[in-house]
Amino acid sequence: MNDPSKMKHDCSNQKECLQLLQAILDGEATQAQKEHFMKEHLDSCMPCYQNYHLEVAIRDLLKKKCTREAPQELIESIKKQIQQNLRA
Amino acid sequence: MEEEIIKNNYTDAQKSRIFDQEFMPHINAMYNFAYRLTLDRDDAKDLLQDTYLKAYRFIDSFQEGTNAKAWLFRILKNSFINDYRKKSKEPAKVDYQEVETYYNSEDVDRQITPDLRVESLSNMIGDEISNALNALDVDFRTVIILCDLEGFKYEEMAKILDIPIGTVRSRLHRARNLLKEKLSEYAKSMGYKTA
């Protein structure tokens, strides 16, 4: 657990940090970037710590709320058309 | 596609197997993509059907062992642009360059919604996030779907969308800022309601 009283409340690189943080969550950052940011920066910087958790929460919510399954009859209809194509 | 296309000559049995084992497993993700692009159930059905028939017709240019999902998403995206975007109910297409320039300006970054909190997200148990996503311009919506919902890498997204990887990165960053803006609007209105 972080001690909030020891964290800084302003980040001088917030824009760059947000970009880096997103790259990390997207699996697009290098191991060195990841280690530096996650181990050294995140625990000491409140805005980045909050941003990190916000980004994670948004992704979770997107995955939970923004997917839908194809209607079964549509799947059947596509399969059928392909089978007809194969026989033709 | 810029890469050299190697044409295979699959037998009917091979085609059938590729279709069932490589293409069909992505049908739910593909339907969701079609729905999020068209924002209309009937159009989504038509777009999905067209895409799968096209995939079958061009199956000889699919290389087994390569990323079938990315290949399918690219066909769907192209079909959408060519066949649906024209007739869709969306207002006249926003000029790309203009949008990109606008969102690259300092203004947007300055308004990084400091008021949006994890706690307000946990109150969004309805369609808020879905509505927020749907309200984004289609190009911004697309990158969020590809990255956050489908887990494509930036390089795969660049190929699917035919844009440079740097554009993927910046568009994604803008898209997320815009999504957060929408979400904080919802959070605010929810706050007013409960106050």
Q: How confident is the model at residue B194 (pLDDT cuts 50, 70, 90)?
A: very low
What's the pLDDT at B117?
A: 84
Q: B34: closest CA among A68, A61, A77, A65?
A: A68
Percentage, residues of chain B above pLDDT 70: 80
- What is the C-alpha to C-alpha distance for residues B73 and B83, in angstroms, rounded to an integer? 15
pLDDT at B129 over 50: yes
**pLDDT, tens digit, for every residue of B48-95?**
999 999 999 999 999 998 999 999 999 999 999 998 776 655 555 555
- What is the C-alpha to C-alpha distance for residues A60 and A48, in angstroms, rounded to an integer? 18
Among the partner-chain residues B48, B56, B149, the one whose CB lies closest to the CB of A66 is B149
E strand residue ranges, chain B: none
Across the interface, whether the CB atoms of B19 and A57 are under 8 A apart is answered no
- Using a CB-CB cut-off of 8 Å, the residues of chain A touching B56 are 82, 85
* Choice between B115 and A1, residue whose per-residue pLDDT is larger: B115
Show the CA angle centred on residue B191, arms to residues B185 and B195, nearest 5°: 150
- Using a CB-CB cut-off of 8 Å, the residues of chain A touching B35 are 68
Percentage, residues of chain B above pLDDT 90: 66
pLDDT at B178 over 60: yes
Residue among B18, B21, B31 with most chain A CBs within 10 A, to mutate? B31
* Choice between A44 and B2, residue whose per-residue pLDDT is larger: A44
- Using a CB-CB cut-off of 8 Å, the residues of chain A touching B19 are 82
Q: Are the C-beta atoms of B30 and B48 separated by less than 8 Å?
A: yes
What DSSP string runs through chain A?
A: ---GGGSBS--TTHHHHHHHHHHHHTT-S-HHHHHIIIIIITTTBHHHHHHHHHHHHHHHHHHHHS--PPPHHHHHHHHHHHHHHHH-
Q: Domain boundaries in chain A? A: 4-87
B96-194: CATH class = mainly alpha
**pLDDT, tens digit, for every residue of A10-66?**
888 888 899 999 999 999 999 999 999 988 888 889 989 999 999 999 999 999 999
Contacts of B51 (CB under 8 A, 6+ apart): B30, B34, B72, B75, B76, B79
Look-up of token digits 């590809």: B146
Q: Domain boundaries in chain B? A: 12-84, 96-194
Q: Are the C-beta atoms of B95 and A31 separated by less than 8 Å?
A: no
Report whether CATH 3.30.230.20 matches the domain B12-84: no
Among the partner-chain residues A62, A77, A81, the one whose CB lies closest to the CB of B148 is A62
Beta bridge partners, A45, equal A8
Residue among A30, A61, A85 with most chain B CBs within 10 A, to mutate? A61
If you count residue pairs, one on A and one on B, with CB atoms under 8 Å apart, how many are there?
Answer: 102
End-to-end CA, chain A: 65
- Using a CB-CB cut-off of 8 Å, the residues of chain A touching B48 are 70, 74, 78
Show the CA angle centred on residue B74, arms to residues A66 and B147, nearest 5°: 40
Residue burial B38-70, b: 16+ Cβ < 10 Å; e: rest:
beeeebbbbbbebbbeebbeebeebeeeebbbb
Q: Kindly state the average pLDDT of the residues B21-33.
A: 98
Show the CA angle centred on residue B165, arms to residues B111 and B130, nearest 5°: 50
Contacts of A59 (CB under 8 A, 6+ apart): A25, B148
What's the pLDDT at B55?
A: 97
Across the interface, whether the CB atoms of A82 and B116 are under 8 A apart is answered no
